[in-house]
Structure 1
Amino acid sequence: MGLLERMSTVVRSKMNRIMDKVEDPRETLDYSYEKQLELLQNVKRGLAEVTTSKKRLELQKAKLTQSMDKLDGQARESVASGREDLARLALERKAALQIQSQSLDGQIADLEKEQQKLIAVEGRLSTKIETFRAKKETIKAQYSAAEAQVKVTESVTGISEEMADVGLAVQRAEEKTESMKARSSALDELLEQGALEDFSSGDVLEKELNKAKASGQVEAELAKLKEEMKR
């Protein structure tokens, strides 16, 4: 496969995906149904035209039959009157009309066949369209239900994602809280061990004075104990 052919395949694939997003199958089904109805109307229109043409020819044939009957009567009267020349003329005209009548019979027969064919086509097409209409409505209902389900699922998915974000935020807050508590405990422990000075209980000078006072008391008590031990 050449480069141009591969590019063409990729473009067609992307266009198909775009069309899938844009195209609504319900609209496509409705459009197909409308086109079938138009076709049915064309068949009915053709059937009406054929029927009208056949009827017109039948009327012409009826007029020819009347004319032939009249000419036949005139020929009989002419023979009865001894006017064979007039009888011959009437019969010649009758023969010409018979040729036209036979031609009309052929045309009427052809139109009759065409009429029956169109009637059959109309019946089959009407049945097909009705079947398509019922199937179309079923598919549209199924598509609408599926579309609604997708929207619900997407909505639930969005809620789940939001709840996941909330849960993550809570988890981070708990972790920070535990970290802060651990840090506070560590600082308290360091303060108790004397590794850190607690500046919150007084200034430095006061602390040093307290230490000196406490040291003096310790020395005094130690000296007192020594004196008692000597006795």
Structure 2
Amino acid sequence: MGIFSRFSDIVQANINAMLDHAEDPEKMIRMMISEMEETLIEVRTTSARIIADKKTAERHLDRVQKDLDEWERKAKLAIAKGREDLARAALLEKQLVAEESATIAGELANLDEHLSKLDEEINQLQAKLTDAKAKENTLKMRQQTTSARLKTKRQTERANIEDAFAKFERFEQRMDYFEGEVEAMDLGKEKQTGLKQQFADLENDDKLNAELERLKKDMQAGA
């Protein structure tokens, strides 16, 4: 089932409100425009058919009017010739034709009224369609603007991330350099420090051995 079910639904529709509640406004507006265009075609088709009927009725009325004039002429001729009976018959035919003429004139009036209403409906539909297309263009522009902003933001974020990694890499390089400087300052000291430590260890070993011998002697003396 479509968004709109008849002409009045389109004319009374609040496009903005419908779009505000739509999950997919762009899809919704496209559907609206499609149905409006279809309805507009239907109304124009109906108008064309009525215009054709009106032209046919006008031609018929023109022929009937000529018949009225002809029976009028014949009635006058009969009177002039002293044939009142023929004059009455001619006037009777004229009366029948006049009734037909009145009927056709009434039909034409109805057709004119219908056409006037259709013309008003076409104007209303056209206005709604123009409004809907304007809304569609607005949505497209907003979508394009949003996409462009999102693309720019992503590029900016990517640039920021790349810049952050570059800064971190430069920081690591600086730290490597400083650590290298520290290690460079210790070069040449490591061997000397190692020898001192070895002699210190030997002295500690002697002290420990002496203490161990003392403990053994004390234990033997106590036994």
After TM superposition, is the score higher than 0.5?
A: yes
Normalising by the residue count of structure 1, what TM-score does the alignment of the two structures yield? Answer: 0.60
The answer to whether the 8 A contact 1:79-1:87 is kept is: yes
Letter in 1 for 2:79: V
Aligned partner of 2:67 in structure 1 is 67
The answer to whether the 8 A contact 2:32-2:132 is kept is: no
User: Cα RMSD between the aligned structures?
Assistant: 3.3
Deviation at 1:29, TM superposition (A): 5.2
Deviation at 1:190, TM superposition (A): 3.0
Q: Kindly indicate whether residue 161 of structure 2 is the aligned counterpart of residue 161 of structure 1.
A: yes
Deviation at 1:158, TM superposition (A): 1.4
CA offsets, 1:29-83, max 9 Å, x none?
5675465445434433432332232122122112101101211221232233233
Deviation at 1:161, TM superposition (A): 1.8
Unaligned runs of 5+ in 1: 1-19, 198-231
The answer to whether the 8 A contact 2:40-2:122 is kept is: yes
Normalising by the residue count of structure 2, what TM-score does the alignment of the two structures yield? Answer: 0.62
Task: Report the Cα distance in structure 2 between the residues aligned to 1:125 and 1:68, rounded to whole angstroms.
Answer: 43
The answer to whether the 8 A contact 1:74-1:90 is kept is: yes
Unaligned runs of 5+ in 2: 1-22, 198-223
Aligned partner of 1:147 in structure 2 is 147
Q: Which one is further off, 57-66 or 42-51? A: 42-51
Aligned partner of 2:116 in structure 1 is 116
SS of residue in 1 equivalent to 2:82: coil
The answer to whether the 8 A contact 2:75-2:91 is kept is: yes
Structural mapping, 1:1-231, within 5 Å: 25=26, 32-33=32-33, 36-179=36-179, 181-182=181-182, 185=185, 188-195=188-195
Task: Report the Cα distance in structure 2 between the residues aligned to 1:196 and 1:87, rounded to whole angstroms.
Answer: 159
Letter in 1 for 2:70: K
Deviation at 1:116, TM superposition (A): 0.7
Relative contact order, higher structure (CA 8 A, sep 6+): 2
Percent identical residues: 22
SS of residue in 1 equivalent to 2:120: helix
